[in-house]
Structure 1
Amino acid sequence: MTLQIIITLRYGSTACREVYNGFAISLVSEDFCKQNDYKKEDKMKKENPVNRKKYTNNEEINNGEKTGKRAQGVRSKSDDSTSKFRKNAQGTKRRTDDSAFGIGKKSQGTKRRTNDSAFGIEKNTRGTKGRTDDSSFGIRKNTQGAKRKSNDSATGINKKNNMSSVNAGKCPVSKKCGGCQMIDVPYKEQIKRKHEREEELLGKYGTVEPFIEMEHPDHYRCKVHAVFTHDRKGNPVSGIYKEGTHDVVPVDACYLENEKADAIIATIRGMLKSFKIKTFDEDNGYGLFRHVLIRVGHNTGEIMVVLVLTSPILPSKNNFVKALLKEHPEITTIVINVNDKRTSMILGDKEKAIYGPGFIYDTVCGMKFKISPKSFYQVNPVQTEKLYSKAVELAGLTGKETVLDCYCGVGTIGIIASPHAAEVIGVELNKDAVRDARLNARMNEIENITIYENDASRFMVQMAEAGDHADVVFMDPPRSGSTEIFMDSMFKLNPDRIVYISCSPDSLARDLEYITKNGYKADRIIPVDMFPFTRSCETVVLLTKTSGSEG
């Protein structure tokens, strides 16, 4: 008996015939097979109306007109016995029976699934957003892992499923993400470890006072960023960068982030496919959708959604906005930010509001502030109130002082301090922040504050050379800390008190060493837990002149 095997060639149109181990093998082109398949299907449709109905449904599925689609552009056969093929659940082909060869074949094109039982993940049947509540912590788990493959380096997605590396506690991806280093450490133990670290770094400059703790240390981040990419099937994926890399860790919900922000990001991810919007691929530079940034006004409830695209044109923009607002009517404004550069920066230079005013408001310590997409604004509003209140308290203002607010951003500290001072001067280099700071001052009807767009170091030298004096200097530098140039300029200005607000005890220790060698001492060192479940914390320090330096 002669066994004939039909092997479809993807390329080429010439049919040939070979003999392998006594079997006659016919090699024919894909087009040749399709022509024969179509003839058989036409014949079946004429003979059997039921078969015609099945064929019509599959055409609709292939055209994307049904939500529960299975096929990926592959025609379905009514009777596959003629071609020795049948469809699997994903609409791809696999062999019906390889027993004639004595070979146990692995089906081609079947989806390799990850065993997520260790995560406690419950997947829904449609591959859309599905979450499992962790009753112990009241949080939701990542379900995008249902789509992940073992290796997808082409898209920059970190998809290696190493069960031993996964934290099975509050967050299933904490070991991959690296954003919450102490997620499974009890809160009191976190505070203890942080305090020991502060004492180790800062104890030689003064007594480190007890931490200002957070009463409810979860979901505190009101600024939430998600990077968007896709898996090998083209399905949208959103999450965060793995620490120190640009590999994307898929995340549905984060224990640190505002829950409403996470829900909006999940909705947007689900909308992309229906709107046929392609996510950006960092490797080849193609795709439109790069990031989503959500900013939430903690006290006002206002929400800003920033869509970071490679082009200012969002397909079906009006329908997209309408669909998003239908799911989340609490959104105040939606902004398109254009970032078409190959850069690690999230936001680009150009932006345009497509819904609402393009900004939101929030209140801190009784003052109202405008927040734009690029504005610096503390991510933990609850602890921000405690931090700034303590900073103004340490300044010891009596209503007669001239206060200089360096690195002033949108003017938060200076505006909060203004009712307690004679004059407040804010200095900021970022022009967008300067514009917002001036607006914030007018909005709060503050008349004793002036905001300058200038480099703070240069400005203090200019003040000193002009014979002007500042009684109190607030300095709130970036995580890297201050510079010797800035501090030397501050020494020339010779303020009576310095209130240093730091977001890194390491850089603070370095700067305190320099400041205390130049006529100042640390009177109060107070740590504030601004970032629960992480190693980071804020510290506010009051520095006053030593007895020999007063003049």
Structure 2
Amino acid sequence: MDYAYQLEAKQNIVAQALERIGGFTGVTVAPILAASNFLGYRNKATYPLARASARSAAETGQVQAGYYQKGSHQIVNLNQCPVQDVRLNPLLAEVKQDIQKRGWGIYDEKLHRGKLRHLGLRIGRRTGEMLLTLVVKDSNLVGIEEQAQEWLNRYPNLVGVSVNINPDRTNAILGSETHTIAGRAYLQEEFAGLTFQIRPDTFFQVHTEQAEALLQVILEELKLQGSEILVDAYCGIGTLTLPLAQRVRQAIAVDVQPAAVEQAKLNARLNHLENVTFQTGAVETVLPVLSVQPDIILVDPPRKGCDRSVLETLLQIHPEQIVYVSCNPATLARDLKILCADSTYSLTQVQPADFFPQTSHVECAAFLVRSPGFVSKPGAKESESEDAEIG
């Protein structure tokens, strides 16, 4: 599809979701932020592994890595991917051959047998540093130390090889354990003028340049004066928290994943940011017990959007501004409708950004301002009947 039409379609997706699901009319949907690089942009890709059907009983079949054909678990074998950073393509093509030579077993999801499940590749767009991760069913992979060192020697920009262990019968890609086999446990990246350490199993936006562009819009819209208290309620490794912390009096970072919080703390120290505090726990649990009243709360939930309890917590705390970053216009519109009910908040602007060219997905940042004269009712929640009606 022509890229200009992709952008037009995504702009319409956002506008229609706000109108049909959220019930908003007259809201400014800013022109979508187009990607300067709509091919070769992804800084991360994870490929399921399989074996091709053998032509005879004596053959085991070639190792394949690629993506699933739509509506199936049939792998389309790839040696390059048009949307991943082109510097990763040689690894995709060649690592499969190394796996073949090693004779490592490939996981069969139907039988729950075999070892290798996925191949993960990650790159720092600015630094060029790469990570290679093998997702395995168990840790017993004969010769992995020797092979990992061979990969480091072959690829100068490869800084670490890891194994992630996922023993479960599940569609989830990663398990809870990741072990560094050779090199470093992280790559280093430059983002918004700061230095970040990114591990194989931590979340970081896949389109670095577009994430920076959206951050710039957030900064322009908030018009920070340096006196604000800001809460990032889904902070991850601090991707948005730390650049914003440079422009406020105090930043508070919250995430339910302890590993992400530890990585965010490390990144704060790496950049000598001392006005950030960190809390581990669910948003709806941590926010009500904060010792300060935030002026701004930033939320960046997963595709399913915010749990109802999170929205109710936001309404009880009633910060002056809320920034809602979303990768799903439908759940964004649903949640904005709840936050703006009873004129509690006004939706002032929605900024779409094309984080995912060549796909139907679109990122957004929505900006809400507390309505003048609104008086909260501490501890007040909607009745069960109202809850059921919205649900």
Answer whether TM exceeds 0.5 for this pair.
yes
Write out per-residue CA displacement over residues 290-324 of structure 1, whole angstroms, 9 at most, x where no aligned residue: 11111111111110111112222322224312432
Q: How many Å apart are 1:453 and its aligned residue? A: 0.5
Q: What does 1:86-485 correspond to in 2, within 5 Å?
A: 185-203=1-19, 204-205=24-25, 206-233=27-54, 234=60, 235-463=62-290, 468-485=292-309
Using the TM superposition, give the Cα deviation of residue 244 of structure 1 relative to its aligned residue in structure 2, in angstroms: 4.7
Shift of 1:401: 0.5
Show CA shifts across 1:487-527 (max 9, x none). 11011111001111111111111111111105001111111
2:352 matches 1:531: no
Deviates more, 1:377-386 or 1:316-325: 316-325
Q: Is the partner of 2:240 in helix, strand or coil?
A: helix
Deviations 1:371-397 (A, max 9, x none): 112211000001011012212322221
Q: Which residue of 2 aligns with 1:171?
A: none
1:310–1:339 contact (8 Å) kept in structure 2: yes
Residue 475 of structure 1 contacts residue 501 of structure 1 at CA under 8 Å; is this kept in 2?
yes
Query: In the alignment, does 2:330 pair up with 1:514?
Result: no
Superposed displacement of residue 427, structure 1: 0.5
* Residues 80 and 92, structure 2, Cα contact 8 Å, conserved in 1: no
CA contact 1:434–1:451 (8 Å) conserved in 2? yes
Determine the C-alpha separation between the residues in 2 that align with 1:321 and 1:462: 46
Aligned length: 364
The answer to whether the Cα contact below 8 Å between 2:78 and 2:93 also exists between their aligned partners in 1 is no
Residue deviations 1:201-257, cap 9 Å, x none? 225251111111111211111111111110222221111223454332222222111
Tell me the distance in 2 between the aligned counterparts of 1:256 and 1:271: 24
SS in 2 for 1:547: coil
- State the alpha-carbon separation in 1 of the partners of residues 87 and 130 from structure 2: 9
In structure 2, relative to structure 1, the CA distance for the partners of 1:397 and 1:196 (3 Å cut) is same
Query: How far apart are the structure 2 equivalents of 1:445 and 1:245?
Result: 48
Q: Which amino acid aligns with 2:311?
A: M
**1:542 equivalenced with 2:367 (yes/no):** yes
Q: What letter is aligned with 1:460?
A: L
User: Is 1:490 the counterpart of 2:317 in the alignment?
Assistant: no
Helix, strand or coil for the counterpart of 1:225?
strand
Shift of residue 350 of structure 1? 1.9
Amino acid at match of 1:495: P
Q: Distance in 2 between matches of 1:270 and 1:543?
A: 52
Q: Deviations over 1:18-43 (max 9, x none)?
A: xxxxxxxxxxxxxxxxxxxxxxxxxx
| Unpaired segments ≥5 residues, structure 1 | 1-184
Do 1:224 and 1:258's aligned partners in 2 also have CA atoms closer than 8 Å? no
What is the percentage of aligned positions where both structures have the same residue?
28
Q: Which has the higher contact order (CA 8 A, sep 6+)?
A: 2
- Offset of residue 331 of structure 1: 0.6
SS of 1:246's equivalent in the other structure is: coil
Q: 1:326 deviation in Å?
A: 4.3
Map 1:44-59 → 2, pairs under 5 A: none
- Structure 2: which amino acid aligns with 1:281? D
Tell me, in whole angstroms, the C-alpha distance in 2 between the residues paired with 1:513 and 1:444: 38
SS of the counterpart of 1:540? strand
For the pair shown, the structure with the greater C-alpha radius of gyration is 1
What is the aligned-residue RMSD (CA, Å)? 1.6
Q: What is the CA deviation profile of residues 135-178 of structure 1, one whole-angstrom value per residue up to 9, with x for unaligned ones?
A: xxxxxxxxxxxxxxxxxxxxxxxxxxxxxxxxxxxxxxxxxxxx
Aligned mates of 2:164, 2:338 — CA distance in 1: 41
Structure 2 residue matching 1:238: 3-state secondary structure: strand
The question of whether the paired residues in 1 share the 8 Å contact of 2:47 and 2:67 is answered with yes
Q: Give the gaps of 5 or more residues in structure 2.
A: 55-59, 377-391
Q: Deviation at 1:261?
A: 2.0
SS in 2 for 1:299: coil
CA distance in 1, matches of 2:252, 2:152: 41
CA contact (8 A) 1:530 1:537 kept: yes
Q: Tell me, what secondary structure is at the counterpart of 2:226? A: coil
| Alpha-carbon offset, residue 346 of structure 1 | 1.1
TM-score (norm 1): 0.64
CA distance in structure 2 between the partners assigned to 1:270 and 1:345 by the alignment: 25
